[in-house]
Amino acid sequence: MQSWLRWVLVMTLVMLASSACAREQRVPEGLRILIGSERVVLLSTTWCGYCKKLRADLDAAGVSYREWDTEQSEVGSQARARLGGGRTVPVTIVGDEILYGYQPDRIIRLAKQ
């Protein structure tokens, strides 16, 4: 019984940690003006493997998006700064929602709503 309870506790903690890593938030005021009116915007870098995978997933799903490199474009750099800086990529903005990390299913679902 005790090992079962321990397993449930561990799984609960894993789920909470996962949801914290895949956090979602609203677009800050002024950011939409900076990045443009595209419904889906991808903030990425050239060296990011997950950015490359997400690009391929979005293309395969027929999702139209605007991409800004956070290291090579002024708009991408400023957008990243307005989101609190850091080096987390990919960051995907879908409408008014911001999604951090590689979440292709969720991003595609939101993009097609």
Give how far the C-alpha of residue 70 lies from the chain's centroid of Cα atoms, to the nearest Å. Answer: 13
Distances in Å between the Cα of 57 and the Cα atoms of 9, 37, 72 are 34, 21, 23
Tell me which CATH code domain 24-111 carries: 3.40.30.10
Q: What are the pLDDT digits (tens) for 42-73?
A: 999 999 999 999 999 999 999 999 999 999 99
Classified as helix, coil or strand, 67 is strand
Answer yes or no: is pLDDT of 74 > 60.
yes
Whole-prediction pTM: 0.75
Q: Taking the CB of residue 39, how many other CB atoms lie within 10 A of it? A: 15
Answer yes or no: is pLDDT of 33 > 70.
yes
